[in-house]
Structure 1
Amino acid sequence: MIQNKSTYTEFIKSEAIRLGFLSCGISKAGFLEEDAPRLENWLKNNNNGQMSYMENHFDKRLNPTLLVEDAKSVISLLLNYYPEEHQNPEAFKISKYAYGEDYHFVIKEKLKELLFSIQSTIGDVSGRAFVDSAPVLDRAWASKSGLGWIGKNSNLITQKVGSFYFIAELIIDLDLEYDNATTDHCGNCTACIDSCPTEAIVAPYVVDGSKCISYFTIELKENIPIEMKGKFNDWAFGCDVCQDVCPWNKFSKKHSEPLFTANSELLSMSKKDWIEITEETFKTVFKKSPIKRAKFLGLKRNIDFLQ
């Protein structure tokens, strides 16, 4: 049995790498003091649009000890999804994170395995796994854990591999050694702000979610506002513009997760194929894809709006 904080920490980080995570950072569980006013202002300015769920569990979002009883540590993990192949350049565009299987299921399995390894090796440890569907400020914790800094496009960025990765957490009731935050390396660059097709980055480090193409094509359930016509640059599900133009993403490395392998049918689809897609094809091609979240009618709405 492992018996000290330093060895616990080393073991958890090596297990995370064994399970395919890009990196692992650990922070002391507690109230996110610096993030509280930021979140409050963001909500006050209605930057969440119709994502009303962002207003729920305000306290829990800022304090993981309210989510996990006796929580001591927040283990933040990154999982690379940068694809080897890309879509037909003439087609409507899909965010790269949606090329393969739904990340929620892929990551949840890895987190369960990590928790099982911790319990088997260390002993009686309780905790919960989180993959962006719970009230946890993923980027804040990953940044606090030294995995990167939050850039002007509000994504977590690292010098070594850019920003094409998912963030997940394991919150556990075990004391560990904690990492320190890294420094901001955006400098004077404003590439993401200058390139956003809908001007959703309203100030450095502030994204108005209600103006983001990802919001319109995934979260919004009603008709897309007519004033957005012609501004989507052919994005039918999500948008990668602020990441594609980020200089740090020239260091992106291809992922090694088989379940994220791009769906070959999706990659080869032409604009005509997208326009003529049937519900049957949608169900077959996107059976395990995050694109299912938009539902067939939502995707059709997006494609109609782009024409």
Structure 2
Amino acid sequence: MSKSKEISQRIKEQAVLLGFLECAIVPAGFLVEEKSRFQEWLDAGMHGEMGYMDRNKEKRLDPRLLIENAKTVIVVLQNYFPEKTQESTEAPVLSKYAYGTDYHFVMKDKLKKLLHFIQEEIQPCNGRPFVDSAPVLERAWARQAGLGWVGKNSNLISVRHGSYFFIGELILDTELPFDTPRPVADHCGTCTRCIDACPTKAIVANQVVDARKCISYQTIEIKGDLDENLKGQFENRVFGCDICQDVCPWNLKAHPHEEPAFTPNPKLLKLTHEDWHNMDRPLFNELFKNSAVKRAGFKGLKRNLQFLRPEQNE
């Protein structure tokens, strides 16, 4: 085995030991294919109130502007598909990604450990982990790294794992042995299950989601009142939405994660319809202490619950 292959293999083995599904190493550079597509999405106003998406556009397209002397992007995938889901079919539905500890904390901690491993065992360098919290186009980097293709619902889909995973990056100022990934072919074919299943018709074109119509955007990103035109269309989703993933045939390959931090409080999965709607702040704090649900906060969750009430949809 050549020295470069050995280095690459050691990094990937360490990533797997840390609990990541996949790991790929690619050179940092300008994301040429993303520029026009991203700008068209912004120009159409499909980012809604997410003004941060329109800032630092050049940095989103080129990590060398984000990290001084950036040369390498290590892309990782982290499984979050749960072994068990909510028990009551009548209860408001929480997105699977929010069952346990906020993935930002979990993945950043792992990426920092991977960085430390590289610095100690491979070569000295500076680097920074990114997990959906800075101007980095994670999905584009994962696709470029050969970890999957972008489905009609705009999610990255893996032939091996489906789409129930998070994407993270480690951007380094040193050059490592790069993979030479082959682009993964689009395996969606003529399937339109995600488009057909979306209750708010947020998937407006192939690989294009109008965030303003997306249930995840409405229940997580919106700070004020939810869109009255969408009342009665949330299909009981209270925070986030997995509908387009639940119906995707590729997610038949999804297997339960083995990340202890993503294991939900047992009480959470047992909540009934009444439990959710009667939730007080102490119970909220107990169930969602370190959860991504804190993004909406107690008031935001109660607003979402109120929006789901049948009498509000008449």
Deviations 1:119-138 (A, max 9, x none): 00122111110000110000
Question: In 2, distance between residues paired with 1:87 and 1:28?
Answer: 41
Give the secondary-structure state (helix, strand or coil) at the position aligned to 1:43: helix
After superposition, where does 1:67-106 map in structure 2 within 5 Å?
67-88=66-87, 89-106=89-106
> Which structure 1 residue ranges, 5 or more long, are not aligned?
none
What's the secondary structure of 1:60's corresponding residue? helix
**What does 1:159-174 correspond to in 2, within 5 Å?**
159-174=159-174
Residue number in structure 1 paired with 2:109: 109
Aligned-pair CA distance for 1:302: 0.3
For 2:265 and 2:81, how far apart are their aligned partners in 1? 14
Q: Is the 8 A contact 1:25 1:179 kept in 2?
A: no
Q: Deviations over 1:169-224 (max 9, x none)?
A: 00112222223221111111110011101000001110111110000000001111
Write the letter of the residue equivalent to 1:283: N
Q: Are 1:94 and 1:236, in contact at CA under 8 Å, matched by a contact in 2?
A: yes
Q: What letter is aligned with 2:193?
A: A
CA distance in 2: counterparts of 1:182 and 1:7, whole angstroms: 24
Query: Once the two structures are aligned, what percentage of the paired residues are identical?
Result: 53
Asked whether the equivalents of residues 6 and 177 of structure 1 are also in contact (C-alpha less than 8 Å), the reply is no
Moved over 3 A (4+): none
8 Å CA contact 1:73–1:171 kept in 2: the answer is yes
Specify which of 217, 225, 228 is matched with residue 219 of structure 2.
Answer: 217
Query: In structure 2, what is the Cα distance between the partners aligned to 1:84 and 1:19?
Result: 20
Classify the secondary structure of the residue corresponding to 1:24.
Answer: strand
What value does the CA root-mean-square deviation take over the aligned residues?
Answer: 1.0
How far is 1:160 from its partner? 1.2
Picking from 274, 298, 301, the partner of 2:300 is: 298
Q: Distance in 1 between matches of 2:137 and 2:227?
A: 29
Matches of residues 1-307 of structure 1 in structure 2 within 5 Å? 4-88=3-87, 89-175=89-175, 176-180=177-181, 181-307=183-309
Post-superposition shift, 1:4?
4.1
User: Counterpart of 1:282 in 2: which secondary structure?
Assistant: helix
CA contact (8 A) 1:80 1:164 kept: yes
TM-score, scaled relative to structure 1: 0.97
State the alpha-carbon separation in 2 of the partners of residues 85 and 262 from structure 1: 9
Quote how far apart the aligned CAs of 1:68 are.
1.4
Query: C-alpha deviations, 1:34-60, integer Å up to 9, x for none?
Result: 000011000000010000010110000
- In the TM superposition, residue 6 of structure 1 has moved relative to its aligned partner by 2.5
Asked if structure 2 preserves the Cα contact closer than 8 Å seen for 1:161 and 1:249, the reply is yes
Secondary structure in 2 matching 1:53: helix
Matched letter for residue 85 of structure 1: K
Q: How many residues align?
A: 305
Whole-Å Cα distance in 2 between the matches of residues 177 and 76 of structure 1? 12
C-alpha separation in 2, matches of 1:30 and 1:177? 13
Equivalent residue letter for 1:229? K
